[in-house]
Amino acid sequence: MNRKEHHSKLSVVTSKLIQEKGYIAFVDVFMELGYLDPREYENWRMKRVPYLERVITTNLGRISFILKRVKKNCRDGNCRESWTGYKS
């Protein structure tokens, strides 16, 4: 997928997450896009994987693009940022 395709896909994913959950978490975005397997997410959450980027199945440039685009979409939609703690 190129950046334009990612941009349109991210709009759909973020809208879906807000409707379903009422918030957007980056791990949910990566799981919806198919870049993060739920089992690998659990391995990271239980500290069997040292850092999340190791199990996301795309390159760091694309990860950075997705993070920036989601933040921009949230700011444009007047969403409020908050810290998320993941318990192991």
Contact (Cβ atoms closer than 8 angstroms) between residue 30 and residue 36: yes
pLDDT at 37 over 80: yes
What is the rounded radius of gyration, in angstroms, for the C-alpha atoms of the chain?
Answer: 13
- pLDDT score of 39: 97
pLDDT at 77 over 80: no
pLDDT at 13 over 80: yes
pLDDT at 46 over 80: yes
Mean pLDDT for the stretch of residues 25-31: 94
- pLDDT score of 7: 83
Domain ranges of the chain: 3-76
Contact (Cβ atoms closer than 8 angstroms) between residue 6 and residue 69: yes
Contact (Cβ atoms closer than 8 angstroms) between residue 29 and residue 14: yes
